[in-house]
Structure 1
Amino acid sequence: MFTENSIIVKNWVDLIRKGTFTRDQVPALGNLQEVVFLILDKEESDV
């Protein structure tokens, strides 16, 4: 359903990076949480 290029995914990743929301606040909508967490985890492992 959602991919790394989906606007909603990009928005959630950005909101979490800025500290506006936490991972726990990402809605359980399709695979949204899975894709958002995948991007964030990938970034953390690259650091």
Structure 2
Amino acid sequence: MTYTKDSGLVKVWVGLLLSGAYTLDQVPNLFNLKTVVAEVVNGTDV
């Protein structure tokens, strides 16, 4: 399974990071989830 910037789980984690509820270190290493979330939060295109 691979996640994209349009995946629901990515959007949830991006929202949690932007709200300050979690940090990037707390995003689970689930397939490529952490990588995609980091790219979206840092503003780089996936």
TM-score (norm 1): 0.87
Count of residue pairs brought into register by the alignment:
43
- Tell me if 1:38 matches 2:43: no
Q: How much is the aligned-residue C-alpha RMSD, in angstroms?
A: 1.1
Q: Percent identity at matched positions?
A: 42
Q: Which residue of 1 aligns with 2:3?
A: 2
Structure with more helix by fraction: 1
Q: Which structure 1 residue ranges, 4+ long, deviate > 2 Å from structure 2?
A: none
Gap regions ≥5 residues in structure 1: none
TM-score (norm 2): 0.89
Highest CA radius of gyration, 1 or 2? 1
